[in-house]
Amino acid sequence: MSTNPSGRRAGRLASIGLAAGAALALVASAATSAVAQGASDPEPKKPGALIIGGVELPDNAYPWMAAILSKGSGSPVQRQFCGGSLISRNVILTAAHCMTGEKAKGLEVTVGRTLLSKKNQGQLRSVRSITIHPRYAKGEEAYDLAVLELAKPVTDIAPVKLPTLGTDALLRPGHKATVIGWGNTNTEVTNYPDRLRGVQVPLVSHAECKATNREYDKSVNICAGVEGKDSCQGDSGGPLFRKVAGRTYQIGIVSYGEGCAEQGAPGVYASTSSAKLWRTFGESSEGRRMLNLLGR
């Protein structure tokens, strides 16, 4: 795994693995190079995160989960480089660092697929447009959010719910959340799973997050994880969510971290309940168009 020039901690692009520690490592530069290479090279592009300390999930556990793949001749397991989530019938939410340098025509998305290699499972869609958060595009890495507009709506799969903007009711430290993905599952050797995996991690206070992550911005970020349980390379862009009163709410987007599942280094997520994160998304014309499309 490489790190970007800014010295930011490893990013979690490429494949997802639930790691047994609480650190989310997402390196935008590593992810970008891996994705770009995948367009012309069928070799696996695995610079991103993994789910450490997690378990395999059954089919249809989270049908709104999305796998983002580069188009090419390799297997879906090789071509998957980031996660995402269906937030409306034709919009996928993911991390901005996943989309840096990407072109819509070079990507495709599967929704409702638990086993990446099972091509008849779920729905495959082309991508019409990519919109990266305008502040992330200007170098503010805390604003790690992007949306993909699909060329054709997904049918018969309910999108995941997003929290009410500005509320922190779902974000209290100590509460358990779940992160899922196809990222690396081993901190010592590369092991990218075919089947979707998930792990529960505790939410961590803003003070603890800031102490271990200098780029952390409590107005748009949250963090979670404990030693031995975490997201890792390949999990980038995937969801952090909680189930409350029978409803599932996505509270975060896998962003970055210090290694994977390391002691005292919780993983950082873009906070989907942040009013500031969504309001500033509308600072670009494309961002405003997507907010209108989403009714936000």
Per-residue pLDDT of the chain (296 residues; tens, 9 = 90+): 222 323 333 444 553 334 333 333 333 333 333 333 333 333 333 333 445 567 899 999 999 999 999 999 999 998 999 999 999 999 999 999 999 999 999 999 999 999 999 999 999 999 999 999 999 999 999 999 999 999 999 999 999 999 999 888 899 999 999 999 987 655 555 667 899 999 899 999 999 999 888 889 999 999 998 654 445 555 799 999 999 999 999 999 999 876 554 445 688 999 999 999 999 999 999 999 999 999 99
Q: What is the model's pLDDT at position 254?
A: 94
- State the CB neighbour count (10 A cutoff) for residue 246: 5
Give the fold, CATH level 3, of 27-47+59-150: Thrombin, subunit H (2.40.10)
Tokens of 101: 């340098």
With contact defined as beta carbons under 8 Å apart, do 149 and 129 qualify? Answer: yes
- Give the distance, in angstroms, between the CA of residue 226 and the centroid of all CA atoms in the same chain: 18
In angstroms, the Cα distances linking 46 to 25, 57, 108 are: 13, 21, 17
Q: Do the bridges between strand 65-70 and strand 107-111 make them parallel or antiparallel, or are there none, so unpaired?
A: antiparallel
**Which sequence spans correspond to the domains of the chain?**
27-47+59-150
Which region holds residue 83: left if phi is over 0, alpha if psi is between -120 and 50, else beta? beta
With contact defined as beta carbons under 8 Å apart, do 25 and 267 qualify? Answer: yes
Residue partners of 256: CB distance under 8 A and separation at least 6: 8, 9, 10, 11, 12, 24, 25, 26, 27, 97, 141, 144, 213, 215, 267, 268
Active site residues: 97, 144, 236
pLDDT digits (tens, 9 = 90+) for 32-87: 333 333 333 333 333 334 455 678 999 999 999 999 999 999 999 989 999 999 99
Residue where the block lists tokens 């092991």: 191
What's the CA gap between 123 and 119, in Å, rounded? 9
The alpha carbon dihedral of 180, 270, 46, 67 has a sign of positive
